[in-house]
Structure formats: C-alpha cells, structure tokens
Structure 1
Amino acid sequence: MEAEIQTNYSYMGRNFNDLCLNGDDNSTAFSDCNSDRSGEFSSASSHNRLLLLACASDNSDDLINQLVSDLDSSSIDVKKQAAMEIRLLAKNKPENRIKIGQAGAVRPLISLVSSSDSQLQEYGVTAILNLSLCDENKELIASSGAIKPLVKALKTGTSTARENAACALLRLSQVEENKLAIGRSGAIPLLVNLLETGGSRGKKDASTALYSLCSVKENKIRAVQAGIMKPLVELMADLGSNMVDKSAYVMSILVSASEGKTALVAEGGIPVLVEIVEVGTQRQKEIAVSILLEVCEESVPYRTMVAREGTIPPLVALSQSGTSRARQKAETLIELLRQPRSGNTAARPSGVSV
C-alpha cells in the first residue's frame, strides 16, 4: 500500500499546483513510508498461528493486553517476542493500531527504542513506526517522548532501525507542531547522512522525511548547514536513478531560503539543473525550471551564471513543448535572463565571479 503523489496534488500540506504536470506522467515523486518490510515468522508454532489468526480477526484484545504486559517483563527475550508480535499486529491490521495504542503500549515501546540491545531497539522502532501509521496515535507517540529515542536510533541503530526511525519521524512530522521539535532534536543532520550514505530505501526514506520537515524555515537552515545540498545535487545528477524527482522536490523548498540558494550554487547545482531542463522527464524539467526561476528572480549574478550554462536554448524548447506551467515558467525565466545584467550585486555569493 503506497500512496502515489499524482499530478495536481497536495502533499503533507504543500500545494504543488506550480510544479505538477498536467499530462499523463503519474510517476511517483514520493511514496509515503508505510509499515516495515521485515519478514514474518520463521516457524509455524501454535503460538505463531494464534498470532496470525489474531492479525486477521477482530478478537485480538486479549492477546494485545498480554503483549503489552510482556513489554514490562524482566526478560529481554520476552520483551523481544512481545515487541515483534505487536509490530506484526500493527502492521497487518489497521484496527489493531488503535487498540494497541489504547492498551498502553506506546511508553514501554519507547523504552525499548532506547535499549542498548540492537535487536530490541529495532523491534521497538518498528513497532512505533507501525503504530504511527494511524493518525490517532501520532500525537500520543510524540507526547509520550518518542522523538529523542527515535533520533538516537537514527544515529546508532541497525540499518533497518535507521530506516524505520526515519519513517517514524516522518509520520510524526505530519503533525505540524512536531516539526520544530524534531528539527531541534538533532534529527536533520542524521537524515542528511542517511540521504548520503544509506541504501536505496534509506535514501528514499530520508528524502521524504526531510521534505516534510523542511517546510519549516528553521529546519531548512539546519538542513543546509548539515550539508544537504551536496547529496541532493549528486542524486539529481544521476538521471538514471529513482532519486531525481525526490531530490529536486526537497531542493525546491530549500531554495526559498537565501542560504539554500547560496549552497546550491556553491555545490555546482546550476549545471545539473540546466541538464535536467534539457534532457529530463517532463516532471523533472518543470521542477528544475521552477528551482532556477527561484534562484534567479532576485539575483543578477545568479542570472548571469545560469545564462552562461547555455540555458536559453533548452528553455526555449521547453517554452514550446512543455506543460502549460513549464512553458509559463520557462518564458518568465527567459525574460529574466535576457534583461540587462547590472544593478543587483547584493546577492553575489562569496568566491563567485560573474
């Protein structure tokens, strides 16, 4: 179950009417982090069969109450088993997510997220992620103190724990009040690191979480200071990857801050964006021209840099064959690039000659 972001859409409270396509390209920009992708049971014991039946039935209350009680056991093995089974109950049946939250599982699961036992931590993180798929649980999880332990798991956990912690933080960030708390907890540099060094799923999860968090200006600055532009530019330059759209959308919200524009230029982002305007997909071209327009609107030096990259010919082509919004933005950018390049030198970045 992955919700695609279609054309003419809003996502996480942001309207993409200025960026979306009106054509038939329904390629996914972001896929929401869903429940974990870990394996199921390795054996077919009677207890496991009982759990599987509970996942599929409406009569899981007694089992849930027992598992929540087991989370407080003095035995690490009992805690692991309980956390794993709660994870599966929450993963496989949405109704169970509410029941588990109401049964008092959140606080003991958060304590597992802080465990020094890597497997116990991973099970705790993943159970919290699956519970956070339910909107009713998001506030409960955050108010119960989950953010800092999830950030710790993002830093010290297994690869699965890191990915699932990123997803859980994404889910919590969908409550607007949590965005600043997550940003101030130290999550953003860790997400930037996951974007740069993680596997394909880790990069996707990190970009989606960063996209949500960076709708807040304070978090934009944190992301730029954490060096996010370098991996974004590198991922966008790899046109054969599945990260071009995701990276471009994250970049599109960062360049609304002057620090984001400066970092994009410093990391060599302009030639990459120009190449996308020339050879990218329709969606990618539209995002790229939107970013370039944002960069150029108030800066003559940046306009000069963009023009020197040979941008006008692909912009002219886009103005004739792109979507209606892409054509409009391309035409506006062409007009800007053809204006006399004098007068505005305030925005010139340090070390950039024009």
Structure 2
Amino acid sequence: MEEEGPVEAEALAAFAEAEVVVRGLIAAVEGVAAVSDYRNAFKKQFGNLARRLKLLAPMFEELRESSSMAAAADQHHHQISGEAVAALAPLREAVDSAAELLRFGSQGSKIYLVLERDHIMKRFQEVTSQLEQALGRIPFDKLDISDEVREQVELVHAQFKRAKERIDTPDIELYNDLTAVYNKSTDTDTDPAVLRRLAEKLQLATISDLKQESLALHEMVAATGGTDPGENIEKMNMLLKKIKDFIQTQNPDMGPPLKDITSVSGNCDPKSPVIPNDFRCPISLELMKDPVIVATGQTYERGCIEKWLGSGHNTCPKTQQSLSNTSLTPNYVLRSLICQWCVENGMDPPKRPGTSNSHQPTKPTSACSPKERANIDALLRKLTSPISDDQRVAAKEIRLLAKRNADNRVCLAEAGAIPLLVSLLSITHDASTQEHTVTALLNLSICEDNKGTIVTSGAVPAIVHVLRKGSMEARENAAAALFSLSVVDENKVMIGASGAIPALVSLLSEGSQQGKKDAATALFNLCIFQGNKGRAVRAGVVPTLMSLLSEPGAGMLDEALAILAILASHVDGKAAIGAANAVPMLVEMIKNGSPRNKENASAVLVHLCGGDLQHLAEAQELGLMGPLVDLALNGTERGKRKAAQLLERINRFLEQQNLMQAQVQAQVQAQANSQIVTDTLAVVDQ
C-alpha cells in the first residue's frame, strides 16, 4: 500500500474537516426547521430568518452527498478543497449564531423580547450581516453543486444583503403599551384597554400561555445562576402578574391563579401564600430571615450577600453600583414587617441563623455608662417639659451629643429619645427648637439602626413641615435628614408621597451652597424610585437644574447633571428637559466637562435623541461628533457606552439625511430633464 504524500494528506484533512462543517450546517438547519412558530413581537423577523436558512438546506445536502460519493469511489480524489473548507467555516459560525437567536425567539420570554427590542434588533442586524458576508465568500466554482441550487443560494444571499440595509421595526404600539405598564410601580391606574391589547398581541390568553411565559421568565432568572436577577426581572414579573390578573378578571372560570413566577425554589403547595417581592432576597429570591442593608441602601439576606462579598465582588448585586464600604446593617423594620406578614398568613416567623427557641438571646450591653445614661434621662425629662426654654436647651444638648460619636447615638436611641424628639418637632413653633430638634434627628439617623425607628415614629411629616416652613438652617438640615433616611429603599416611597419633593426643589433654588447640595443629594436619592421622578418634574426641578448648569461658579454642575441623567429616563422628565433647550449646554459639558459630567451629559442626550431627530440634528450641528469620538475612546466605562450609543444614532441620522438629499437631487434632476425635453419639443414644433 502506497504511503500518501503531503498533498494527499492535506486533502484528506480538508475532507475530514469539510465533513464536520457540512454535518454541523445540516444539523443547525434541521434544528431551525423543527420550530414551526415564533409567537412574539418579532414573528416576522424570526420567520424570515428561519425561512432563508431553510432555503440553504439543499446546498448542504448536495455537499454531503458529493463528499460521500467521492469518498466511496476513491478516497484519493476528494471533491472539497481546503479553500472551500476555509470559506464554509465562517458560514457554519454564522448559521450557528442565527440558530441560537431563533432558539431564543421560540423559547424566550415574549415580554423580554419586546422590552429589549433594541438589543434584539441589533442581534438581528449582526446575524444578518454575518450570514451575508459568509454567503458572499462561498467559492461556487470549487463546490460540486447544481446550477439550480447555486441560483437559490445566490437569491438567499441577495435577500440577506437587502435585509442588512434596512431595519424592520416591530410593533410600536405594543412596545409603548408594554413599557408604560412596565414603568408603573403599582397596580393602580393601569388602563384595562392597554392590558387587553397586551394580552392579545403577546398571545397570553390562557392558563397554558401564561404558564409558558412564566416558565420563560423563570429560565431567565435561573440563567443568572441565582446571583443577580436584578430589578428588571422583578418588574417583568410584576408586569406579567398585571396581565394575568386582568385575564382572570375577564375570564373567572379559566382556572386557579398562577404561582409567582419568581418563586424558583419555594414551597409548591398551591395553598401557600405568595411571598411579596419586597420580602424576598434579590439574590436567592427566598423569604428573608435576617435582612441587612448594604451601602447602596439595598436589602439582602445576610448569608447571600456575605457569600457575594466573600467571592470578591465589591458591587451591589441589584444596582451594580460600587460599594463605598462592606458593612452590613440589620434592617429591623423590614424584618418586623416580614414577621407580621408571616403571623397574618399562619406561618412561623423566620428565625435568624444562630438563634434557637431553647436559648434566649443575650441582651446587648449598653454603650452608655450609668453616669451617661443618667445625663441622657435628665435631658429627656427636659425635652417633655412644658417650659419652652427647657425644650430648646434639651434639644440642643441632644443634637450635640448625637453629633459627637456613634456610642452616643446608640445610647440616645436606647433611652427612647427618638419618639420624644419627633413628638416635639410635631408641636413646637419655636424656630430655634425646630432647628435643634430636626438636626438631632439628622445626627441620630447616621446610625443605620436608628433610621427605622425614626421613620416608624412618624418623623417624616414633621421633617417635611420644617423643610417647608423652618428657618434656612433648619430647612437645610431637614433636607439632609431626608437624604439620610431615603438611603433605605422602603423610605423613598413614603418620603416622596409626603410632599417633600416640591420643598426640596425650592431649597435647591434658594438655599446656601451646602443647602443646595443637601437638597440635590436628597432629590437624586428619591428619584431612584420611578414614582418620584414625575413628582420632581411637576415640582419644576428641571428649570432649576438648568439654571444651576448655567452658573458654573455655583459648584452644582455634578449634582445637576446627575439628577438630569436619572430624570431623562422618565417620559415627563425627557419632555421637560427637551423643552428647556438643554442640548447646547449638554454638548458643552461633553466638550469641556469633567469625566463624570461628560458621562452624565451623554446619558441625558441618549434619552433626548431617542426617536427625536430635532435634538439629534441640533447636537450634530453644534459639533458633537468629535468630542463624542474622544469620549468613546477615553471616557469612563459608562461614558464610553453612552458615547457609542449617540454616535450610532447620529451616524444613522446622517445616512438618512444623505439619502433624502440624494432623492431630492434626483427629483430636481428629473424635473430639469423633463423641462429640457419640453423645451426641445417646443423648438421642433416651431
């Protein structure tokens, strides 16, 4: 038997590689063909992609047959060259990418697909471009395929080429309806007509449909490894629940309610009460036993967040913000609410790890010495004295004690100072006493354990009253107190609903430098909660922020841009910023601002220019392109992302402008040619 030479060995290797590539292509197309329906907002796009891939199947079959026949006839003369194999390998990658996208389209969450439409459309464009380029490199003259199949493949190539150059936007009404419901924080004020349209367009009309969508969202949670489901998953869960509740209201006989879709490891007993989302750890999705607060104000189960931090992470899992420190503060208020909910629902209250029924917990040692405690008790007696001078003096002393150190803050809380201070703040009309009392509460709130006590003692309405009516120093310290309390997520809702936001906007305009900063930080923190963004816009915060931007010497650029960036994601905020002629200032910030200001200004512009050609044209005319390119290359990570988004939108806008200009020029030329013909005929007639 003759040994094979180098050329034959190379041919054999090419043949073996070709076999693998061709079989992989056939398997991928067969997988696509097995899916018959894409019941989602991208049905047309997924259907077109699947149909085009299936049209490539005859070529892959002919390649397999020709290779098999050649191998059977003479293994020394193979049909597929190394060059052809090299050209087919990128096609295999492109087809695999398309098949993966189609699998996601057939099995993924319908709600997710709509909400992430920009990302999905980008994936369509990437896959389409990848397929078009791969098909364009196929060396037909080196492949043994029939003319009919070659013509069909060239037709598919042309279709992908056309598809690459245009974007088919999915149902706009569906997207707007879904985002409107998605961004509502509560079940109130949801238009039944909107829910009806969503149920119809998403084809969520039966228990089976709802269960399938529930499982798809479940898979998304599971795909995160149980470490970071995030706020978006929670909001999608709530959105599906609204649709489910609406459908069951319209069809009472359709069956029992669905189990909460985020309950990935809970009790499957249908009689078990659904655990409120606020009581679940965002990491494990289970009922919290020992809730603790991290530096960003988010609450987690102690064991879960300790494991997260222990694995080397230094960010908040839910918000992805960097943690300024890794201290964990017990969330006693939330734990109390969880225990109350358990009792009301006939469940045993959760016991924190390390506690047991047989051993009573040891009473913590007081941070106060007997002498210090006696001094504090004397101050508290003065605080409740009917004599206003005694009240004022006592409030001042408590203010100073609470400012001095952490032990004093603990001692004062242990002695019961907080409810007495809140009571005094609610009734006193003395400006000096108001100032000392609200500042004492501010200083006490520095201790994380005291925040819950301050809120549950009814302090928020009294603090807001001082914020509106007090002296300037009292107003500023009231703003600082609200900021401190709003670090806890549960308090953001209460403070926003208390009427604090208009008073904070007024202080942002009227206060001293420190007062403005306190008001700004409080507003930023409150506006993290979606429901407070509209309140801030209605209170006139946008014109105030624009005024601060026009005064660089005021030292409020960082704060003003940070608040604008968070408001721009709200429909009312976006409209107010656009109406305030903000684009020139934002462009100037991107050109000459600090790295932080550049990223926030670009974040605002991303929202403003989304679908608004006027703002986009204005930004481009103001010379934004150069600074944006620099920001995309040298900015902060967030700045780079926002700059890239803006550059993409501006480039798309310029392409549309050039296309329109070309069409106008063609029309003008056609009219000119027509006139020339008319004039020529007129001369001939003469």
The TM-score by the shorter chain falls in which range?
Answer: 0.7 to 0.9
**Residue 14 of structure 1, CA deviation:** 4.6
**Residue 232 of structure 1, CA deviation:** 1.0
Counterpart of 2:392 in structure 1 is 80
Counterpart of 1:29 in structure 2 is none
**Aligned in 2, Cα 1:324/1:133: closer, same or farther, shift over 3 Å?**
closer
**Residue 276 of structure 1, CA deviation:** 0.4
Give distance in 1, aligned partners of 2:369 and 2:414: 18
Q: Whose relative contact order is higher, 1 or 2, with alpha carbons under 8 Å and at least 6 apart?
A: 1
Give distance in 2, aligned partners of 1:312 and 1:306: 8
Counterpart of 2:505 in structure 1 is 192
2:411 to 73, 90, 99: 99
1:309-328 to 2 correspondences below 5 Å:
309-328=622-641
Is the CA contact (8 Å cut-off) linking 1:239 and 1:280 kept in structure 2? no
1:252 to 545, 550, 565: 565
Give 2:391's aligned amino acid: K
Give 1:193's aligned amino acid: S
Counterpart of 1:142 in structure 2 is 455
Give distance in 1, aligned partners of 2:455 and 2:641: 42
Q: Find the residue that maps to 1:192 and give its secondary structure.
A: helix
Give distance in 1, aligned partners of 2:320 and 2:551: 27
Is the CA contact (8 Å cut-off) linking 2:421 and 2:441 kept in structure 1? yes
Q: Find the residue that maps to 1:234 and give its secondary structure.
A: helix
Q: 5+ residue gaps in structure 1?
A: 18-54, 343-354
Give 2:652's aligned amino acid: Q
1:337 to 638, 642, 650: 650
Indicate the larger mover: 101-110 or 268-277.
101-110
Q: Find the residue that maps to 2:395 and give its secondary structure.
A: helix
Deviations 1:311-349 (A, max 9, x none): 22321333344345433432321120121477xxxxxxx
Deviations 1:137-172 (A, max 9, x none): 111111111011100000111111001100111111
**Residue 296 of structure 1, CA deviation:** 2.0
2:465 to 152, 177, 183: 152
Is the CA contact (8 Å cut-off) linking 1:276 and 1:285 kept in structure 2? yes
Give distance in 2, aligned partners of 1:159 and 1:265: 32
**Residue 270 of structure 1, CA deviation:** 1.3
1:236 paired with 2:549, answer: yes
**Residue 272 of structure 1, CA deviation:** 0.7
Give distance in 1, aligned partners of 2:321 and 2:620: 27
Paired positions, count? 299
Give distance in 1, aligned partners of 2:377 and 2:403: 17
1:205-220 to 2 correspondences below 5 Å:
205-220=518-533
Give distance in 1, aligned partners of 2:451 and 2:517: 21
Give 1:107's aligned amino acid: P
**Residue 15 of structure 1, CA deviation:** 3.9
Give distance in 2, aligned partners of 1:299 and 1:79: 58
Give distance in 1, aligned partners of 2:585 and 2:370: 53
> With structure 2 as the length reference, what TM-score do the two structures score?
0.41
1:178 paired with 2:491, answer: yes
Give distance in 2, aligned partners of 1:217 and 1:57: 45
**Aligned in 2, Cα 1:56/1:181: closer, same or farther, shift over 3 Å?**
closer
Give distance in 1, aligned partners of 2:385 and 2:638: 59
Counterpart of 1:30 in structure 2 is none
Counterpart of 1:46 in structure 2 is none
**Aligned in 2, Cα 1:10/1:272: closer, same or farther, shift over 3 Å?**
farther
**Aligned in 2, Cα 1:57/1:270: closer, same or farther, shift over 3 Å?**
farther
**Residue 301 of structure 1, CA deviation:** 3.8
2:402 to 79, 90, 102: 90
Give distance in 2, aligned partners of 1:58 and 1:86: 17
Give distance in 2, aligned partners of 1:9 and 1:123: 37
**Aligned in 2, Cα 1:58/1:248: closer, same or farther, shift over 3 Å?**
farther
1:278-293 to 2 correspondences below 5 Å:
278-293=591-606
Counterpart of 1:348 in structure 2 is none
Give 2:375's aligned amino acid: L
1:64 paired with 2:376, answer: yes
1:267 to 577, 580, 594: 580
Give 1:140's aligned amino acid: T
Deviations 1:103-134 (A, max 9, x none): 11112211222311111111111111111111
Q: Find the residue that maps to 1:74 and give its secondary structure.
A: coil
1:306 paired with 2:619, answer: yes
2:534 to 221, 240, 248: 221
Q: Find the residue that maps to 1:124 and give its secondary structure.
A: helix
Give 1:252's aligned amino acid: A
Q: Find the residue that maps to 1:334 and give its secondary structure.
A: helix
1:120 paired with 2:433, answer: yes
**Residue 181 of structure 1, CA deviation:** 1.2
> With structure 1 as the length reference, what TM-score do the two structures score?
0.78
**Aligned in 2, Cα 1:58/1:192: closer, same or farther, shift over 3 Å?**
farther
**Aligned in 2, Cα 1:250/1:138: closer, same or farther, shift over 3 Å?**
same
**Aligned in 2, Cα 1:238/1:71: closer, same or farther, shift over 3 Å?**
same
1:9-20 to 2 correspondences below 5 Å:
14-16=319-321
Higher-Rg structure is 2
Is the CA contact (8 Å cut-off) linking 2:549 and 2:557 kept in structure 1? yes
Is the CA contact (8 Å cut-off) linking 2:583 and 2:615 kept in structure 1? no
Give 1:209's aligned amino acid: A
Give the fraction of aligned pairs with identical amino acids, expressed as a percent.
Answer: 41
Deviations 1:257-290 (A, max 9, x none): 0111111111121111100001111221122112
Give distance in 2, aligned partners of 1:59 and 1:260: 54
Give distance in 2, aligned partners of 1:188 and 1:237: 22
Counterpart of 2:423 in structure 1 is 111
Q: Find the residue that maps to 1:60 and give its secondary structure.
A: helix
Counterpart of 2:482 in structure 1 is 169
Higher helix share: 2
Is the CA contact (8 Å cut-off) linking 1:296 and 1:303 kept in structure 2? yes
Is the CA contact (8 Å cut-off) linking 2:368 and 2:408 kept in structure 1? no
Give 2:459's aligned amino acid: A
Give 1:255's aligned amino acid: A
Indicate the larger mover: 223-232 or 58-67.
58-67
Give distance in 2, aligned partners of 1:324 and 1:70: 55
Is the CA contact (8 Å cut-off) linking 2:578 and 2:608 kept in structure 1? no
Q: 5+ residue gaps in structure 2?
A: 1-294, 296-312, 323-366, 657-686
